[in-house]
A and B are shown apart, each in its own frame.
Chain A
Amino acid sequence: MNPWETWKKGFDAWENATAQYMEQFLKSESVLTPSGALLTAAMKTKAQMDKAAAQWWGLWGLPTKRDQERLLHTVNQLQSKLLDLEEKLEAAQSKE
């Protein structure tokens, strides 16, 4: 067996063992609980900053980003409802 093949076999064995160990470590409460708390805290900060920006924007009587997103989503919902109606109409016409 050439040296590269020997090295690769050793690497694969190391990688497999390390991956299994890492999985157990990352799955442990001591990692997941603080990670979750950190992510939640960061999200809370971002949400509060966004809220403050939206309030300032609203003071000028302007639509916020969230307002625009809601409006666009409503347009998308209307498109889907129109398509539903078209389908029902086609089904009714094909029955006649």
Chain B
Amino acid sequence: MKRWLNLAKLPFMKPTVGATPADVVHRENKWQLLHYRPRPQGVAFKTPLLLVPSLINRHYVLDLMPGKSFTEYLVAQGHDVFTIDWGTPGPEDRFLTFDEITDGYLGRAIRIAGRAAPQKKPHVLGYCLGGTLAAIHAAAHPDSMASLTALAAPVRFGDEGLLAAWTRTKTFDVEMLVSAMGNVPWQLMQSAFHLLRPTLNLSKAVHLLDRAWDDNFLDGFLALETWGNDNVSFPGAAYQRYVEELYRGDAFARGTFTLSGSLARPQAITCPTLAVTFEHDNIVPAASAKALLELAGAEDKQNIHLPGGHVGAVVSKAAAKGLWPQLSAYWGARDGAVQKSGARQARPAEAAKVRRKSG
């Protein structure tokens, strides 16, 4: 009975997403830098952490909902967390270049986030395309980050996946697409993602029907669906370079990519580097993400390889128990805690209490 009641209520339910309290500390064009309010007992680590989401998805995938939020967990652990909200590009952003985003905007976010750190460098975690941007920035500015974490971020684009095959199709004229549309519409990109697993929506419907009695599952499902359908378009000029040079030319992996006129070779990355890869990631194949470790010049390189898919493995219950503590420990080990006694292993439910108090 509850299953059917929940299903009937579903269209009227609105999940609370991106709820961890934060202040806007910088605004420029459409993007803004959010600084999450520290836990009541203060931060436990010297080095702040900057989260860089993908350009085409909303930042709140890493702050999905109270009790199921990676950001909330990090704040509860005592990390000083910043995140970039890329915003929604306007028609004029068709001229926004890859350099302006990766060198200009990301560079400024790194400098602002790093201000409070003793060495003026934050740890940087980039998710998906955000990880690619962060890796390219680290290659062009090797001294800008305390560490680089690339979470399911494509680095080598020569894979045999559907997205790579599509972008390499000779009849697909990316210049014409950008010339006609300006920014590349999110609907076009979302339909490409749907094609990666055309039966996914049907499968989701069956699993929803199966577990509709479970309020906890339903909340998470709704939050994730809200995020999955809340996408943004890709700035045209940046998209053209992304496809032509990174996807088609594999320029970053080959060491020929330039950022604002300077060569950005992955071998120049010298900060501690962590690549997180997922076994069943059909958007960014594990080999494409793991290539960062083969190419980076850092001495301190690590790989965390986990089961799961591109999104589920980052936001699921299993991630809260496995991936999140591993990441927190990784940054903690490369930091030196100033308040070790204050740091505690908060579970997501505890983190939710902290959020409400600080909010």
A residues apposed to B, CB below 8 Å: 4, 8, 11-12, 15, 18-19, 22-23, 26-27, 32-37, 39-40, 43-44, 46-47, 50, 65, 68-73, 76-77, 79-80, 83-84, 87
Contact = CB atoms under 8 A, between A and B. Distances in A.
Contacts of B108: 83, 87
B102 to A, nearest CB: 13
5 contacts: A8-B206, A11-B206, A19-B199, A32-B165, A76-B92
B95 A15 contact: no
Contact of A72 (B90, B111, B172, B202): B90
Contacts of A47: 176, 179-180
9 closest A-B pairs (Cβ-Cβ)? A36-B171, A36-B172, A72-B92, A43-B180, A37-B171, A36-B169, A47-B180, A46-B180, A69-B92
A79 B173 contact: no
A69 B95 contact: yes
B180 A80 contact: no
Contacts of A68: 92
A19 B195 CA distance: 9
A32 B180 CA distance: 20
B2 interface: no
A59 to B, nearest CB: 22
Given A27-B165, A79-B28, A69 B91 contact: yes
Given A69-B182, A70-B95, A87-B111, A40 B197 contact: no
Nearest to A39: B172
A22 to B, nearest CB: 5
Contacts of B160: 27
Interface string B188-208: 000000011111101100100
Given A11-B206, A40-B173, A73-B96, A65 B198 contact: no
B29 A50 contact: no
- Main secondary structure, interface of B, reads helix
A15 B171 contact: no
A83 B195 contact: no
A54 to B, nearest CB: 12
B100 interface: yes
A80 B29 contact: yes
Interface string B298-330: 000000000000000000000000000000000
B198 A80 contact: no
Given A15-B199, A36-B171, A80 B100 contact: yes
A23 B104 CA distance: 38
B177 interface: yes
B14 interface: no
B291 interface: no
A68 B95 CA distance: 12
Contacts of A77: 100
A72 B96 CA distance: 11
B335 to A, nearest CB: 24
Contacts of B282: 23
Contacts of B176: 40, 43-44, 47
Contacts of A4: 210
Nearest to B168: A32
B170 interface: yes
A67 B179 CA distance: 14
Contacts of A70: 92, 95
Nearest to A45: B180
Contacts of B169: 32-33, 35-36
Contacts of A69: 91-92, 94-95, 182
B4 interface: no
A80 B170 CA distance: 36
A87 B92 CA distance: 25
Contacts of A65: 91
